[in-house]
């Protein structure tokens, strides 16, 4: 959008207010912490945080690097996108691999084959090894009931644990990130964006996303009301039929627990229109890991998860 189109005296739109809030948070954390890092999955939320960080420090480059916890079950498109993005912004990328932990026996593969919960230990180790004291993430409060309760700056002990019953009050736009050695702070600059806000923002800012987010033809099979890609990590059972279908992903994660939705939305405007009228949350629609119980996310967060 070019500047002469904006009436700068008009009431601020929701997106402008959310963008300014996020930029303020990112600048605060970079100014007050020694070594921040952004947890980057290649998903739309972490891509949005990176875009906001670039805007916060323009014309300087983003003053921190990226950290990816690779479950070993990622889509190739996502890994390519991740590497290209780090290069595009000219910043460092560190990768912590779940596979390394499985290979040397520190972690064991779960019977159901999902690796989502296995990411927690490599994440906490990577934070300690990197000496990161602030860890940016793209979590949003509208995603889940437990996330709805979390502060924008969320203190973690040296086990990475979140204590939901004893959170620091967060007042005005004053963030208190003080912590003792061994502790670190998770920072969620887009806490107040909804899924629709993120898509509206991606459209407005013309932010590049992995192609998985847009409708494409893929060989899939149906299970629990979701469409699963046929692949090494998600094979159909005998009674499940593989079909070629136009699908897109609403979240991108571990292939073994992330399903697609049937969709014809092949570009940003079509996706935006689809999200605006959706009747199911993105996690309910496409994440098997959050269907386990009402407290699935709370339990993982207390344990040090993203």
Partner 1 sequence: MTTTPTTTQTKTLLRFATAGSVDDGKSTLVGRLLHDAKAILADQLESVTRTSAERGFLGGAFDFALLTDGLRAEREQGITIDVAYRYFSTDRRSFILADCPGHVQYTRNMVTGATTADAVVVLIDARNGVTEQTRRHLTVVHRLGIRHVIVAINKIDLLDYDRNAFAAVEAEVESLTAEIGLDTAHLIPVSALAGDNIVEPSANTPWYHGPALLELLETLPSSEEDTADLEPFRLDVQTVIRPQGGLAPGLDPEKFRDYRAVAGQVTAGRVSVGDEIDVHPAGLRTTVVGIDTADGPLETAGVPLSVALRLADDIDTSRGSVLAAAGTLPVPRRIIRAEVFPFTAEGLRTGDRVLVKAGTATVKGIVTVESKRNLDTSEPEAAEVLAGNDIGIAEVKLSAELPLADYRTHGRSGGFLVIDPQTGGTLAAGIHTPAD
Tokens of 227: 């469409």
Distance CA 247, CA 249 (A): 7
Length of the chain in residues, anyone? 306
Is there binding between residue 242 and partner 1 (CB under 8 A)?
A: no
Query: Which of the 8 DSSP states describes residue 234?
Result: B
Tokens of 209: 């996303």
Q: Give the nearer residue to partner 1 in terms of CB position, either 25 or 107.
A: 25
Distance CA 140, CA 91 (A): 24
Is there binding between residue 284 and partner 1 (CB under 8 A)?
A: yes
Contact region for partner 1 (CB under 8 A) — 27-35, 77-85, 105-113, 234-242?
27-35
Distance CA 145, CA 301 (A): 12
Find the binder of partner 1 among 129, 262, 273, 292 (CB under 8 A): 273
Query: Binding residues for partner 1, how many (CB under 8 A)?
Result: 78
Find the radius of gyration of the CA atoms of the chain: 19
> What mask of x and - would describe binding to partner 1 in positions 62 to 101, judged by CB under 8 A?
xx------------------------xxx-----------
Q: Give the nearer residue to partner 1 in terms of CB position, either 228 or 233.
A: 228
Positions 185 through 204 that interact with partner 1 (CB under 8 A): 191-192, 194, 196-197, 200, 203-204
Q: Which residue has the tokens 């480059």?
A: 61
Contact region for partner 1 (CB under 8 A) — 77-85, 103-111, 124-132, 170-178?
170-178
Element (H, E) at 88: helix 76-89
> Around Cβ 27, how many Cβ atoms within 10 Å?
15
Least distance CB 174 / partner 1 (angstroms): 5
Least distance CB 305 / partner 1 (angstroms): 15
């Amino acid at each position: 959008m070019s500047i002469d189109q904006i009436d700068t005296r008009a009431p601020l739109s929701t997106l402008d207010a959310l963008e300014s809030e996020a930029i303020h948070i990112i600048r605060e954390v970079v100014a007050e912490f020694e070594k921040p890092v952004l947890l980057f999955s290649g998903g739309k939320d972490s891509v949005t945080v990176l875009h906001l960080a670039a805007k916060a420090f323009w014309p300087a480059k983003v003053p921190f690097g990226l950290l990816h916890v690779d479950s070993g079950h990622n889509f190739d498109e996502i890994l390519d996108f991740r590497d290209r993005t780090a290069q595009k912004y000219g910043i460092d990328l560190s990768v912590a691999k779940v596979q390394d932990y499985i290979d040397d026996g520190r972690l064991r593969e779960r019977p159901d084959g999902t690796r989502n919960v296995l990411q927690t230990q490599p994440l906490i180790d990577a934070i300690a090894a990197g000496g990161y004291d602030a860890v940016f993430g793209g979590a949003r409060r509208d995603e889940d009931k437990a996330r709805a309760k979390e502060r924008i700056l969320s203190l973690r002990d040296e086990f990475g644990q979140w204590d939901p019953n004893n959170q620091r009050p967060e007042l005005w736009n004053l963030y208190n990130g003080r912590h003792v050695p061994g502790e670190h702070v998770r920072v969620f600059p887009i806490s107040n964006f909804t899924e629709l806000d993120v898509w509206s923002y991606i459209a407005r800012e013309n932010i590049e996303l992995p192609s998985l987010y847009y409708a494409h033809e893929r060989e899939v099979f149906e299970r629990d009301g979701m469409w699963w890609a046929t692949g090494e990590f998600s094979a159909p059972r005998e009674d499940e039929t593989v079909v070629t279908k136009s699908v897109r992903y609403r979240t991108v994660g571990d292939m073994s627990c992330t399903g697609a939705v049937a969709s014809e939305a092949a570009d940003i405007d079509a996706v935006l229109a689809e999200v605006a009228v959706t009747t199911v949350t993105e996690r309910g629609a496409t994440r098997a890991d959050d269907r386990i119980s009402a407290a699935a996310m709370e339990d993982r967060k207390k344990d040090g998860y993203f």
